[in-house]
Amino acid sequence: MKLFTTVLTSIPLCSSVGVSVGNERAAGSSWGYDEQGDDWGDSAETCNGNRQSPIDIPKNYSSAEFQPFQLTNFDDEQNWTLFNNGHSVQMTASNLNMKLNGGALPGEYILAQFHFHWGSADHAGSEHTLEGKQYFSEVHLVHFKAEYETIGNSVSKGDGLAVLGFFIEEDPYAEDTPLDNFFRNLVGEAVQNPSETSTVQFSMTDILPSTLDNFYRYLGSLTTPTCNEAVVWTNFKESLKISSKTREFMTQFAKDNHGEDLVKNYRNVQPLNGREVTFYSSQVDRLNLIEYHFERIVEALPDRPWSDRYEQRLNKQLKKAESAFTGVNCYKENGFGSDDSADDVQVFDESDFCKLNGQVNAALNSWARNNACEGRGKVYRQIIRASRKVRNLFDRKMSC
């Protein structure tokens, strides 16, 4: 994540263009990506800290109760200044009225800018990786904490900045995605050379997903010198999509400070050093709710031989569903057409356990259709078939 070296007067960090952020100038203005950031610690000691970013998001993480984000004014059309700083292409907001709350963040944050990191024709370029996978690109939405009033004040605080990171992935079947339009029509070649600027107008919601769900949280740093350990990171599991044409365009739409194509502008992943990574998902909470009502049924079961069989079999399907969860909506992948919705149980009735058994079964089936992507769509079928048998067992034994 880059806190750009040149800041516009619209951001209350400095009084004039050309002022460096924090101690970045002390780290040397000629830093680059020749060694993907492995040499930055030689001139900026903070880049050798224990809370550095980016990281490889591990397979083993903790989970917590999902808390939705609240976005204010993100759907308003805003004037943005595009700028090529020789290290990235960034967009700076002219109006600091886009506010971010919720999402288990420690307060309210204000969007200041966003920028991209990307790869080359034959190499990926996201900064974070997901269980070892590096994506072609990554976009960072940089917010400062409203309580601290400015970016300048925020970079020295452990929770001063909140960055939303989205992976960007080539989809060979994609055409005219929101990001395709953004790069090829709005950005184009307007800022191909370093120090070039351009002004465009658009709404942030034009390029963001409709829902902000399934995300990882950890405490980290800026990903450029001076690597201030001031960032509350939010990394979304589901990637944004671009076409093959846009990927090719991104490998040549901007030049670096040496007049070469700006590519592979990412820092290598840094050690986790014992930091906790937490995953938030409304679907995890939904599965927990289903399991809770299943447990209520088990508690009410008569002490009979088939009761244990019922409990063991349905519990097995719940565990299978949990292990198959990938954090993305896979309704289409599981063969249910273009509609990404599914009938689901919204209210569970504990006054009638025959009815509750059917509701738990229906809710689990709906969850599996939407979320059990592992095995190329096979797991959700196994869950549906097996849970149906368990439901029928209950109905027979309880004379439902």
Residues with catalytic roles: 87
Across the chain, how many H-helices and E-strands are there? 7, 15
Of residues 236, 249, 357, the one with CA closest to residue 294: 357
Q: Identify the sign of the CA torsion 254, 23, 224, 161.
A: negative
In one-letter notation, the amino acid at residue 183 is F
H-helix segments, 270-377 = 282-300, 305-324, 353-371
* CB-CB contact of 381 with 297 (8 Å): no
* CB-CB contact of 97 with 73 (8 Å): yes
Q: How far apart are CA 50 and CA 43, in angstroms?
A: 17
C-alpha distance from residue 37 to each of 42, 54, 102 (Å): 10, 11, 32
* CB-CB contact of 134 with 126 (8 Å): yes
**What does DSSP assign to residue 156?**
T
Q: Are strands 62-64 and 278-280 parallel, antiparallel or unpaired?
A: parallel
